[in-house]
Structure 1
């Protein structure tokens, strides 16, 4: 008879990762962030437990898109009222809430289940280089860099 190992949420200690988004392409950056939030890089990964790490993204206002996505891509949502379809291009979104561009890209790469909302809460995105997590990141951070490394 085999014994199954059960991973509990309380046995998980998340690591903190610092990501500098300056001049990085949104989709490629999101593909690096999403597995960290899910926890797939850990040997204790279990799909039914939110065992991912905490990711702090700085300089979110300096992300890049390839091609003509700044003007051609459209973010759509509905207010719930008749005629309430709203649309914004990434260029307009960058002026209002630049962190939302990266959050939506990462959200689309997370698993579509009940743990998704808990995973996205572990993503902390900041417009500039300043953030309130200096104490948490001291000695524990990995900085994901762009393709020119």
Structure 2
């Protein structure tokens, strides 16, 4: 009889991946990165254990959106005070808040729980092509599209 193996936190081995965002579509990049952060690319994936890897996204300022989303897509946030609604377009988010723009796309695809909060800390986004994580020897991850 086969038995399901449940990964324990002590058994998790983590690797570092680097993703180049040049010419990539935001949604396609975010789904692949979120799957790696959760650990769904591993055969030892366990839903209630943080078994994901670390991901570094470089050249975030060169990530694209398709269609008319740059002017049409809006990002809403509210300060919980009367009149505290803030609306920003995707064009404004890309030009002024590039790191937050990519993080928001990936964060929306992770679980909104305590486990998701831990997995969110494994994402590092940089606008340029340089990153300070060379000592971790990241492996290049290829994303289609």
TM above 0.5, yes or no, is yes
Corresponding residue of 2:14: 14
For 1:1-149, list aligned pairs within 5 A.
5-137=5-137, 140-147=138-145
For the 8 Å contact 2:6–2:44, the answer to whether it is kept is no
SS of the residue corresponding to residue 106 of structure 2 reads helix
- Aligned residues: CA RMSD: 1.8
d(CA) in 2 for partners of 1:146, 1:96? 26
The number of residue pairs the alignment matches comes to 145
Residue 2 of structure 1: how far off its partner (Å): 8.6
For the 8 Å contact 2:32–2:143, the answer to whether it is kept is no
d(CA) in 2 for partners of 1:145, 1:2? 34
Calculate the TM-score normalised by the size of structure 1: 0.89
Structure 2 unpaired stretches of 5+: none
Residue 44 of structure 1: how far off its partner (Å): 1.5
User: CA offsets per residue over residues 27-58 of structure 1, 9 Å max, x none?
Assistant: 01111111100001112111011110000000
SS of the residue corresponding to residue 144 of structure 1 reads coil
* Runs of 4+ deviating beyond 2 Å: 1-8, 111-114
Residue 114 of structure 1: how far off its partner (Å): 2.2
SS of the residue corresponding to residue 139 of structure 2 reads coil
Calculate the TM-score normalised by the size of structure 2: 0.91
d(CA) in 1 for partners of 2:4, 2:25? 41
